[in-house]
Amino acid sequence: MKTTAAANESGEILVIRKPAHWTSFDVVKKIRNLTRIKKVGHAGTLDPFAEGVLLICLGRATKQVDRLMDLPKEYVAEIQLGKQTDTLDPEGTVVQEAPVPELNEALLKDVLQQFVGEIEQEIPAYSAAKFQGKRLYKLARKGKAVPRLFKTVRIYELELLDWGKDYLKIRILCSRGTYVRTLARDIANRLGTVGYLRALIRTRIGPYRLEDALSIQDVEAQHKRTDAGGS
């Protein structure tokens, strides 16, 4: 990691492994406090329950946020079948249950293939998308009617990694703006049941990979060495 002055002058992109139960802004705030750099931003929000690659831009590198957000993203996702939550993730309340049909590998691969390419997704009610200037999740939390909004995204690859009688584990390579929660629900529906996204790890953004990411503890340790005059 560069010194504070160097990061401010030329900018720096940090590849951080966001821990579960942290918001993306929690990570930004932590890095800002450690580096004492005022201009800190991130390129692509991860929900609090999710973990994995989060790109943090320091100083002049914040000008690259839009470019970085346009890069393809890779995820490993676990889909719980037979239950659906109001938020489509593990933080919500179960609102629907349905039997799970008997699954087999051929069926699962066939259904996944149906989602590869350009698809239309419904934006989740519990999302930060706006309608008439208001965040959808704020309307949903107040119990107000949430309009059905849709967007077009692209799924480049879908790979079946593991499965059981009531869950799937898949790898996803997708475009900017893809709602993996919606994809999880739609895959479950196509299988003839309901489902929600129970776990999510972002493993890559463009060339920035999880195996190269720094944990928050790594950043803290590096910063302590820098303050102490070490390399």
Give how far the C-alpha of residue 27 lies from the chain's centroid of Cα atoms, to the nearest Å. 14
Q: Is 110 a catalytic residue?
A: no
Specify whether the CB–CB gap between 175 and 149 falls below 8 A.
Answer: no
Which of the following is catalytic: 47, 66, 70, 227? 47
d(CA 13, CA 62): 8
Per-residue CA distances from 144 to 5, 85, 91, 131 (Å) = 48, 17, 19, 13
Pairing, β 73-81 against β 208-209: unpaired
Tokens of 160: 């079946």
Q: If 0-12 CB within 10 Å is exposed, 13-18 middle and 19+ buried, where does residue 129 land? A: middle
| Residues involved in catalysis | 47
